[in-house]
Structure 1
Amino acid sequence: MLKLLADENFDNTIVRGLLRLRASLDLVRVQDVGLSGKDDPSILAWAANENCILLTHDVATITQFAYERVIQGLSMPGVIEVRTDASIKRIIEDILIIVDCSLEGELEGQIYYLPL
């Protein structure tokens, strides 16, 4: 099963909805692992070290740093960029589809944009 890391400003309603529907989901928040206030490269490095896909709303900077890791040949397990104006129900369904239909390592070096 894919491991997920929710960025610091990621909508907690989505996190709660995911965990309510799938209690077994391997999902932690940046705040839960001591990364509050850390910069994007540090969060991406932690996610890579733990083999976690990053869930974020931060299209402005995370994308650039994620692709920089790929260009440098560093691990980047994947990023899921979520629009803030999308339906929460739809986002939860899309994340669960990705989790259910992806093998570990399959999102390596990729950025997905939700909703699908």
Structure 2
Amino acid sequence: MSIQYLIDENLPPLYQEQLRRYLSDLKVLMVGDPNAPSKGTLDPEILIWCEHHNFILVTNNRRSMPVHLNEHLGNNHNVPGIFVLRKKFTIGEIIGDLLLISQVGEPSDYQNRITYIPL
């Protein structure tokens, strides 16, 4: 199973564009894309979508995402992972880590947890 990303709608489309530019075969969707949750979808519903479609969520939601993850897990659900972007890092540094993870990371390393990017 390979790593695939769902980019939160609050992040600039540049993340999706750059990931696809460097790895054209990497599956990267953004909230609002066809076959992805629509814009305005609530975070708990996005986690369910990620669970059903096996996507790691990439978000800058540092405040409420830990709460949503705990509720999600408490309801006997799983999630392939959540990558929360750290403050004060460049898009290039973040893209670099996301590319590296997609190439050498094991999906099970990120399941049911929040990982802060860059690592």
TM-score of the pair, normalised by structure 2 = 0.88
1:55 to 55, 58, 74: 58
1:8-19 matches, cutoff 5 A: 8-19=9-20
Report Cα offsets for 1:26-78 as digits up to 9, x if no partner.
11011112421111101111111101100001111122101221233211110
d(CA) in 2 for partners of 1:111 and 1:97?
Answer: 17
Displacement over 3 Å in runs of 4+: none
Per-residue deviation at 1:18?
0.9
d(CA) in 2 for partners of 1:101 and 1:67?
Answer: 27
Does 2:114 match 1:106? Answer: no
TM-score of the pair, normalised by structure 1 = 0.90
- Look up the match of 1:6: 7
Aligned positions, number: 116
Contact 1:77-1:109 within 8 A present in 2 as well:
yes
| Fraction of identical pairs, as percent | 28
Structure 1 unaligned regions, length at least 5: none
Does 2:55 match 1:26? Answer: no
Query: Which amino acid in the other structure matches residue 99 of structure 1?
Result: S
- Look up the match of 1:35: 38
SS in 1 for 2:109: coil
SS in 1 for 2:108: coil
Query: Which sits farther off after the overlay, 42-51 or 59-68?
Result: 59-68
Structure 2 unaligned regions, length at least 5: none
d(CA) in 1 for partners of 2:43 and 2:99?
Answer: 24
RMSD: 1.4
